[in-house]
Structure 1
């Protein structure tokens, strides 16, 4: 009968008995009459048509309708009915008394029982009916009782048997339910219909405990099976439900639980080194934590969810049941507390590596004691007996003359263990040792975490006594860090303490032989170098390019000449820098006797070194002549561009480490180019052993930092090297810089480049000199300009004049190196050349290296796009610009460096190029590098310009005016 959703209606649920499937529910919508009563007009409602009656449904109704759909015969048999029989036919077949399928029956009942257990709780507040035989869905209403009923199980024991029966109560009133046509709708848990009402029960009573009594007053347990019945059935009943007994006793204990953390071994196949790194494939031995609760004489594991426990005792003919009622709320609070401490043992056992386990115990011992949580070792008469008392370590570090004395003591309870005795075990990664009482002490993991470095870097100091330990003074930062974390007691001089903060270092006077002034940040660098000198520490001056590492170093060497007049220092650098150092030394420290030890004609005699204050040489020569160098004891060995030794396995790195000297210093703008090992190699050169050996450094720092991104390890490494690295960024010292800093970078020609240069120079020298002897020849200036231009191009790169040239260029090598350095430091640089082909060569290299750049020459169409890319894209650090295209009209305020790849005739044009970066809106100080090829026409032009300008008192403005100003001697000098 159709129900109209436009008229008043009500959703109801009906219970009916299926021929095969037992009790099922079905949902109906009933039309209401004019008085609001249920009428006979009804129709089935399912998920298909439920939305039509949405006005009368809530979320629970939708859920009930869906579940009731799932229990109808077509839906419930769909998956099992693989032969696609009609549902009724399929059910008749599997329920056939003779040929039926018991397994299928059980599967269907299991699914239906699950659906009933979900449907019944949701019927609270809904209208439920029994369906009539004629299909009327509202034949007899069943009242769904909102509160749970209670069950009390009775046992009455006499001399012959025991009577067993349940009584039911609802809201304290006894229910009459036996012999009343009551029936169970669901068994797991029990839902009972009695006298027109639907009841559910507290404590999850199952239907099997009620169904025998629907039409029976009690069950009789004969005397002969009494004991077995009590042990197997009554014990479980007493544990879970309320029981009233006569003829035997039930004693109930309600104690406060005592939490106990039980420890047991879980063996592995470990091999863990000092730094916590696994060696081999095995797992470290573990300790298993098991949380238990003690109630008087009874103990329960935390993951045992039974609320109670019952034990039966028989004394002759007397039975006593002992019931322990657990305090679930209090037990949970202990479990939650331990979880907050990092030990989730509430629902299961929890295993930790042995050193971590005892570290956790040691760290949380006081908290556990405050909460009354007891720790005990599970003993079965086998295995190790561990020390589980209080363990502590104390370390005292005291400054001595050239080292720190280290006194470390470990205490396990009342036992004091000298650190030196177990140091070998620690270095082997063994965390266990035996105490005098036979117990096994386990070193907590926190000791390894906190003291790893100091354990590793300690050395035996047999000069004092056999078991004395010392720490080299260059590990000062390590000692200070441990002190700041209250891990050691550190005693040292106030002067050495100042190394923690550079600003507190003493201000030293500059040597009188130093010709020049140092900017404030450079003076601070000089003071730092002097401080390191006093303590015989090695140092790394790692200022940004252009901030004056050379001049700070020369000031230090000038001081050394004053205090150690007979001492000789060695400065090793890339070949291209030797001439620059020679020029700078002449300018700032003319009093230093400098020997340039390079070239094939060098005299390989180290006794000559003693006649000089400073020996300049290259990495290549050092590698070749290492036996000569290591036979001389230098005052300082200084490495410029020290990233040259970043690979500790390289020949040059091994060579410089063989050199003998009093002090060591390295200079670099990029101490780390490729990875953390770069740092180790350079730090190990200046302060041998500062970061341990290579293998130790790799395990302790390199792998955690590079592979695991361990920020704590990175911070610790930074703290250790910080006192020995002075690094100022250009942005940090901007206020100390002048508006423009102009540096000249001299490059040396390669052998093949020099050969190409000499061929062209000889040709034009002969041609021009012969033309000069002919009076009135007008094309002399043209020939001279053409010749000088070709020589200038070859000074840049011979490919500018000869596209078939396959050799290299000294200037290109220097330019590329410095581009790498500025870009790696995060700076932006403008690269100017008046030769587009020269920019093309640089561009070709950047493309090969995959380095992003902006580019501008006369053929560039979208100039603004290139400018925007350089100004706004942080990944674009380099802008290649030709002189004619970019000399004017550009605003490139993001640039911090300007590279001028070739000198120009007109200094005014050069100034315009610089001003592309150095202009209004520029927040950075601009550092300019002019690249000049040594012993080339570039160097001679620059010298001539300076002389001509000084004589004339005016600028040479054009190529033509420059040519006109040259006399015969000038031309011959240019082509000499």
Structure 2
């Protein structure tokens, strides 16, 4: 370079500056970590082309999001970071997330959400339905556990307590301890002694030992469906506030867009950041969602699907596990004793007023309404759809059933699709599962698992098809210790690779029953298993 011309030296310096800039940008985007993950995980040699395809299908979100991040073609960073002011966003990005105790790969926006909760300490994550608020919370807990924290507390509606417990165990190595029901005192003592993540309900929280919050001081308090505590005078709100006062880090989760409910937001943020509440004005909501987000940025992060669509899988499937109430359990026991398989399958809706499944369905529909999303509810049984219709009110469309002429079915679907914003369509899975296009819907609720897997696949395909512009969320309502659990377990034993291939074969396209278990055989096995199980429970009692 000593003997190079002035112009050549200038070009070399420009090239060096460009390299330094590229390296700095790569480090900021954590590309070395991403490349290491890719080489160790996604780029490992598959056993066969078939296994490679199945792995891609099962983890397409991970492939697509990693490729997007590596190529720089992911979503706009400001949008994925909730349009936070630069100072806050920089502070969040500077925090390195410890994922050693996680069992799941996070999308970029999910990792940012977990870091936001950790960096800002007392916040609300209000991501749109289906973006993975639960896994972001678990990632934050896992980070703190890796850094030495031992106790955490999750408060949620009873309808999602089982899901939280399962998700914690599936997505991390953390110990989950349900603190609920008749055994809550024993479970709480176990958690206090052994640590882990205690998962309790709003109604059970105030029943925990007085002074426990000050004694245990969890590393983080997570409150799911935080809009449940918007009324500061309610007992559940006072119980949450009592714990929040004793905990340094508090994370509220809600899918309700707070810019439309500024008074509710002010009530929630008062529990987290009292100093911020007076500065939250109704004019912020009126100014639009981005203006609102910037005004409340220290305590609020929300991303919509459109913000992070490039990182989302095309299909999000969630198993919603619920526990029988006393009346439903009695109805289920009678159905099992009589050996009536179909009655067992719909027993969770036998007493609509106390049905845990129906309560969870209402919550899912309410959240979809808040986000302007259309919902299709499928069930095999007309009686179940009637109960759902009664619970949701007269504005639902349908139900579509075998007794409805095909032309009328299409009219109902067209009317449902033409509604601006939220709407609900009810359909028997046999009638609406084939031949109709429902891509206006982006939320699908299956009231019970189906005997034939192809029935579920075909029903979901009504919404998840060409023309669909949103991620489709599929929620399957399941009851623990019931025919649902037996059915899911039995179907899961089928060879996964064979299923994946069979569903794509010409044979499967023309004769879908070819890959399904015999109805009669499956029903007989499940009835016998349930009769033995319940008889054993009675003997032990």
Q: Same fold (TM over 0.5)?
A: yes
Equivalence for 2:10: none
Equivalence for 1:756: 331
- 2:350 aligned with 1:798: yes
666 and 502 in structure 1: CA distance in 2 versus 1, 3 angstrom threshold: farther
885 and 635 in structure 1: CA distance in 2 versus 1, 3 angstrom threshold: same
C-alpha deviations, 1:706-745, integer Å up to 9, x for none? xxx9946998765431232221222322221222221111
C-alpha deviations, 1:462-496, integer Å up to 9, x for none? xxxxxxxxxxxxxxxxxxxxxxxxxxxxxxxxxx9
Separation (CA, whole Å) in 2 of partners of 1:734 and 1:816: 26
- 2:136 aligned with 1:552: yes
974 and 939 in structure 1: CA distance in 2 versus 1, 3 angstrom threshold: farther
Does the CA contact (< 8 Å) of 1:869 and 1:876 recur in 2? no
Pairing of 1:855-866 with structure 2 (within 5 A)? 855-861=399-405, 862-866=408-412
Pairing of 1:306-705 with structure 2 (within 5 A)? 498-501=86-89, 505-506=93-94, 508-532=96-120, 537-565=121-149, 567-590=150-173, 592-603=174-185, 608-625=191-208, 627-632=210-215, 633-659=217-243, 660-670=246-256, 672=258, 675-692=261-278, 701=281
Equivalence for 2:418: 872
User: How much does 1:854 deviate?
Assistant: 4.8
Separation (CA, whole Å) in 2 of partners of 1:607 and 1:914: 42
Give 3-state SS (helix, strand or coil) of 1:831's partner: strand
User: How much does 1:969 deviate?
Assistant: 5.8
969 and 951 in structure 1: CA distance in 2 versus 1, 3 angstrom threshold: farther
Separation (CA, whole Å) in 1 of partners of 2:287 and 2:310: 33
Pairing of 1:717-736 with structure 2 (within 5 A)? 718-736=293-311
Equivalence for 1:315: none
RMSD (Å), alpha carbons: 3.1
Pairing of 1:827-976 with structure 2 (within 5 A)? 827-847=373-393, 851-861=395-405, 862-875=408-421, 877-949=423-495, 955-963=515-523, 972=532
TM-score normalised per structure 1: 0.42
User: How much does 1:674 deviate?
Assistant: 8.6
User: How much does 1:871 deviate?
Assistant: 1.6
Separation (CA, whole Å) in 1 of partners of 2:524 and 2:190: 52
Separation (CA, whole Å) in 2 of partners of 1:914 and 1:952: 20
Equivalence for 1:187: none
- 2:341 aligned with 1:788: yes
Separation (CA, whole Å) in 1 of partners of 2:142 and 2:100: 8
User: How much does 1:563 deviate?
Assistant: 0.9
Give 3-state SS (helix, strand or coil) of 2:438's partner: coil
Separation (CA, whole Å) in 2 of partners of 1:651 and 1:638: 18
User: How much does 1:754 deviate?
Assistant: 1.8
Does the CA contact (< 8 Å) of 1:525 and 1:552 recur in 2? yes
User: How much does 1:595 deviate?
Assistant: 2.0
Separation (CA, whole Å) in 2 of partners of 1:540 and 1:867: 37
516 and 794 in structure 1: CA distance in 2 versus 1, 3 angstrom threshold: same
Equivalence for 2:54: none
Does the CA contact (< 8 Å) of 1:568 and 1:610 recur in 2? no
Question: Which structure's residues are more often helix, by fraction?
Answer: 2
Separation (CA, whole Å) in 2 of partners of 1:577 and 1:811: 10
Separation (CA, whole Å) in 1 of partners of 2:285 and 2:254: 26
827 and 677 in structure 1: CA distance in 2 versus 1, 3 angstrom threshold: same
Separation (CA, whole Å) in 1 of partners of 2:177 and 2:496: 32
Pairing of 1:111-130 with structure 2 (within 5 A)? none
Separation (CA, whole Å) in 1 of partners of 2:462 and 2:158: 32
Q: Where does structure 1 lack aligned partners over 5 or more consecutive residues?
A: 1-495, 765-783, 800-805
Give 3-state SS (helix, strand or coil) of 2:463's partner: coil
Q: Flag the structure with larger Rg.
A: 1
Separation (CA, whole Å) in 1 of partners of 2:433 and 2:286: 46
Does the CA contact (< 8 Å) of 2:313 and 2:471 recur in 1? yes
Question: Which structure's residues are more often strand, by fraction?
Answer: 1
Separation (CA, whole Å) in 2 of partners of 1:544 and 1:710: 17
Does the CA contact (< 8 Å) of 2:177 and 2:191 recur in 1? no
Does the CA contact (< 8 Å) of 1:597 and 1:617 recur in 2? yes
C-alpha deviations, 1:783-812, integer Å up to 9, x for none? x5xx221111112x115xxxxxx7420000
Give 3-state SS (helix, strand or coil) of 1:648's partner: coil
Does the CA contact (< 8 Å) of 1:671 and 1:678 recur in 2? no
Separation (CA, whole Å) in 2 of partners of 1:832 and 1:838: 9
User: How much does 1:657 deviate?
Assistant: 1.0
Separation (CA, whole Å) in 1 of partners of 2:248 and 2:391: 42
Does the CA contact (< 8 Å) of 1:638 and 1:664 recur in 2? yes
Does the CA contact (< 8 Å) of 2:179 and 2:198 recur in 1? yes
C-alpha deviations, 1:850-870, integer Å up to 9, x for none? 645454222334122211112
Give 3-state SS (helix, strand or coil) of 2:320's partner: strand
Separation (CA, whole Å) in 2 of partners of 1:967 and 1:844: 30
User: How much does 1:503 deviate?
Assistant: 10
Does the CA contact (< 8 Å) of 2:97 and 2:111 recur in 1? no
- 2:404 aligned with 1:816: no
Pairing of 1:211-290 with structure 2 (within 5 A)? none
Give 3-state SS (helix, strand or coil) of 1:627's partner: coil
Give 3-state SS (helix, strand or coil) of 1:832's partner: strand
Does the CA contact (< 8 Å) of 2:325 and 2:356 recur in 1? yes
892 and 505 in structure 1: CA distance in 2 versus 1, 3 angstrom threshold: same
Pairing of 1:142-221 with structure 2 (within 5 A)? none
Separation (CA, whole Å) in 1 of partners of 2:302 and 2:289: 17
